[in-house]
Every structure is written in C-alpha cells, then in structure tokens.
Amino acid sequence: PNSWEARAEEYSLYGFTDLPSVRDRGTVVVTHGEGPYIVDTNGTRYLDSNSGLWNMVAGFDHTGLIEAAKAQYDRFPGYHAFFGRMSDQTVALSERLIEVSPFARGKVFYTNSGSEANDTMVKMLWFLNRATGRPQARKILTRKNAYHGVTAISASMTGKPYNEVFGLPLDGFIHLTCPHYWREGRDGESEAQFTARMAAELDEVIAREGADTIAGFFAEPVMGAGGVIPPSGGYFQAIQPILKKHGIPLISDEVICGFGRTGEVWGCETYGFMPDAIISSKALTAGYFPMGAVILGPDLTDRLQEAIDTIEEFPHGFTASGHPVGCAVALKAIDVVLEEGLLDMVRAGAPRMQAGLAEIARHPNIGELRGIGYMWALEAVKDRDGKVPFDGSLSVSERIANTCTDHGLICRPLGQSVVLCPPFTLTDAQMDEMIAKLDASLKQVFAEVA
C-alpha cells in the first residue's frame, strides 16, 4: 500500500476497531496540530471538537506544556515510584493534587491511564477490606451506560453491553439504572420522583446483596462516553446518604470531568457531593503525557495505611507510575488550567456553546440536548415525541459525524448522539465555526434520512 491511509489500514489496529462509520469513510492520518485543529497527511485541517479523546484541553500546540516536558527530559527523563523511591516531580505533583482536591488531606497513587486508575482503586478496596477483616466486601456498584475503561476490572465496571463479547463483567460487578431522566423516566414521573426511584433502587440492591459484601460505588459526575449524561436533579444528594449509612465508599471517576470540563475543577463540586476518592486522568496532563491518578481522601488514606500496617505491603504499581516527565507536565497542566485562564475560558464559553447548540436542537430530529460546561450531546431521533431512534446499520449519529469530518469538523457519534467536548482554548470564532459546521452537517444528514 502507498497512501498513509492504506498503510494505516494494512498494519494498524485502532481502538474500537471496526466501527461501521470508519469502514464507511476511511482513516484520517494525523501529522500535527494547530490550536484546536488537527492536520492530516494531505494537509487538511479539522477542528477537533472532541479534544482528541476529551483530554487535549489546551489544544495541540501549547508551548508551555511542551517546554515543561522538554525541560524535565533534560533534567531527569524517567524513573519509577517504587520501594521508597520517587522523583522530586512526583512529590511535588502529589502535594499539588491534594491542594487542589476537595480533600483536607489525602494521598495519591499514579498509573498510566484512567482504566488502570480504576483497577488500582478497586484493588485497593479489596486489599484494605481483606486486611481489616472484611474479605467478603468485594462487590462493586456502578451504573448502566457508565464508562470506566477497558482493562478487565474497569471494563467490568463499564455498563455497556459491548463487553459481553469478552465474557465480562466479572462476577460481583453490579450495574444500577442510568440516572438519565429523559430516557429512563416513566410516563408521568417527575424528575424528583425519578431521582427518588434511583435512590430506592440503590437501597434495594444494597439490601439484596448485603451491605457487608459491597466494596464501593463508582460514578462519573457526568457520564461521558455513555453519551454525556448529567445526573437527574438531586441524584448525588439522594444516593450519598444511603452509601454513607452503609459505610460504602463513593468514588468519583473524574477522568473526563476533572480539571475543568464541567466549569469547576471537579465534577463533584459541580454536583455538590463529597467523594471518598477521585479517579483522574486525561486533562490531568492535558493529554501531553499518559497518566492516571487515584486521589484518596482522608478516610481511605487512613484505612489503606491500616491495611498496609497489617499486611506489610500493597503489592501493586506500574513501571511508569509517577513518571517524572508526566508529573512535570501535570504540574504545568494544572497551572495552565487553574491559574492561566483555561477554566475561566470554559466558564465564559459554556453559555455561548449551549446557546449555539440549543438553536440546532430546535430541529425536530433532535430529541435531547444535554450537557454542562464544555461537554454536550445532541441525541438524534426519528420521532421526537416517542423518543424513537433511527434504524439502520450506520446510525444517523455516525453519518452526521462522517459528514462533519467531510466539512472539517471532528465530532463523536456515541449511540444515537453526537458529542462535542472541545479544547478549553477555543476562541469565539472557533466556537462559531464548530456550531456552524455541525448545523450544516446535521441538516444535510436529516434531509437525506427523513
């Protein structure tokens, strides 16, 4: 094969191979980026409204982040965080993470990805329960439509039917109803009643399974890869007391929400709840280095210490855990988002994005516009009143995404929805370009399928 596209398809596998949409349109081979744009081997520019995979929040050419990585490569290009040794950058990052976390004190464990951070958290819970006389407390509660990653544990936590092809979930991973009022609410049920039903279901599941068999409850503040699903009103206020009553830790998976995506530093701030631990990745390094982190609050910090004192060691860690270049990049990324104005840009830009999308959502084939901050989804429906999805092997959302690509806009089809989660650096003109290209593509596809 000669072309980059043909060579890519001949030798490379990509994540979630092989979506019909990719088969239909072919591969885009990217050489570099300019602000929020990616550029392919043919020189074509695309506005990437998905920030890569939600992670490139500072765009693709942020000088400060690149310099931070270069400087650390010059200083000390690699080390681990094992056996009582770690780099100075790792020390500094943990201190900074606890400082910006909602926790008064805590500790941080590093991984290379969000999936590994979720696995690490689950293994920590299993470990500390065993060490403290509760070996039966192993079950993990999550929600349908949740996305927590792809490793065996985090895929088991993920509430998507596609993991059946692996024979997952593993035993003991229980998926509750997705708190999506528009889709899951019953006829005549108010949002408050729906939230109360979600809480009652949690109560019932805990009673059925036995509180002493449950290790933890994991939730994304806003479900991301499930199709941008903010919780129903009062959801976390309703479920947190139930978890507290039974001594079940609430873990906030902030891999997408963390560091500004919702317009606050943490999604748990946006939704007003206090988790026992936070899972972070993606924006943690603005996507400039692969890294994940488990951030433990005070209670889990103490319980882990007690368990380590009992068992002697927590036998877990990755070669590149706490990599000094990753930590240096993360320290810079936190400054860029929190001190150098990116979070303010999300706060300022979110109403403009919402208003632009709301205009598009007036189209009769849009069933729901949902989101917050810089994470939004438009759900396509054949019939708005009946919330009826379109049929066909290539879904309408995939056709919309492909048409957007043809118009120089990358956006993501997720189920029946099209998702936009742009870099925080977007200018007003780039925001308007994104909205206009989406609008044109959507109208074109709806005209074809209607």
Find residue 279's DSSP bridge partners: 253, 294
Please report whether residue 119 would count as binding ligand PLP according to CB under 6 A.
no
Among 224, 324, 349, 371, binds ligand PLP (CB under 6 A): 224
Closer by beta carbon to ligand PLP, 377 or else 435:
377
Cα–Cα distance, 273 to 249 (Å, whole number):
12
d(CA 374, CA 222): 12
The alpha-helical segments, DSSP class H, found in 246-286 are 267-270
Q: Report which of 288, 294, 199, 177 is spatially closest to residue 243, judged by C-alpha positions.
A: 199
113 makes contact with ligand PLP (CB under 6 A)? yes
In three state form, how does the secondary structure of 30-75 look? EEEEECCEEEECCCCEEEECCHHHHCCCCCCCCHHHHHHHHHHHHH
Q: Is 281 in the site for ligand PLP (CB under 6 A)?
A: yes
- Which member of 148, 175, 399, 412 binds ligand PLP (CB under 6 A)? 148
Among residues 256, 304, 420, 438, which is the contact residue for ligand PLP, using CB under 6 A?
256
Residue with tokens 């855990």: 321
Instruction: Decide if 49 contacts 411 (C-beta within 8 A).
Output: yes
Distance, in Å, from the CA atom of 149 to the CA atom of 117, rounded to the nearest integer, reads 9
142 part of the interface to ligand PLP, by CB under 6 A: no
**21 makes contact with ligand PLP (CB under 6 A):** no
* DSSP helix, strand, coil percent of the chain (3-state; round to 5): 45, 15, 40
250: which strand partners? 217
CB of 112 to ligand PLP, least distance (A): 8
**Which range, of 175-183, 251-259, 261-269, 345-353, touches ligand PLP by CB under 6 A?**
251-259
CB of 319 to ligand PLP, least distance (A): 16
Span from 217-225, 261-269, 370-378, 409-417 in contact with ligand PLP (CB under 6 A): 217-225
230 binds ligand PLP (CB under 6 A): no
Residue 255 in contact with ligand PLP, rule: CB under 6 A? yes
Beta carbon nearer to ligand PLP, 65 or 257: 257
Q: Is the CB of residue 97 less than 8 Å from the CB of residue 265? A: no
46-64 burial, b for 16+ CB within 10 Å, e for fewer?
A: bbbbbbbbbbbbbbbebee
Of 76-84, 113-121, 407-415, 440-448, which segment contacts ligand PLP by CB under 6 A?
113-121
Which of 220, 276, 379, 433 touches ligand PLP (CB under 6 A)?
A: 220
CB-neighbour burial class of residue 183 (10 A; exposed 0-12, middle 13-18, buried 19+): middle
Residues recorded for the chain:
450
Least Å distance, CB 120 to ligand PLP, is 11
Stretch that binds ligand PLP, among 66-74, 190-198, 248-256, 349-357 (CB under 6 A): 248-256
Question: Cα(22)–Cα(127) distance, rounded to whole angstroms?
Answer: 42
Closer CB to ligand PLP, 206 or 293, in the complex: 293
Of all residues in the shown chain, the one whose CB is closest to ligand PLP is: 114
For residue 412, state whether it binds ligand PLP (rule: CB under 6 A).
Answer: no
Q: DSSP E strands: which ranges in 186-328?
A: 214-219, 250-253, 277-280, 292-296
Nearest-approach distance from CB 207 to ligand PLP, in angstroms:
28
Size of the site for ligand PLP (CB under 6 A): 15
Binding string, residues 331-370; x marks residues near ligand PLP by CB under 6 A: ----------------------------------------
Q: Angle 298-311/114-131 helices, nearest 10 degrees?
A: 60
> Please, which residue, 267 or 356, has the CB nearer to ligand PLP?
267
* Helices (H), ranges, 246-374: 267-270, 298-311, 324-338, 342-360
By CB under 6 A, residue 289 contacts ligand PLP: no
Could you say which residues in the range 157-186 bind ligand PLP, by CB under 6 A?
none
Does 110 participate in binding ligand PLP (rule CB under 6 A)?
A: no
* Binding interface with ligand PLP (CB under 6 A): 53, 113-115, 118, 147-149, 220, 224-225, 253, 255-256, 281
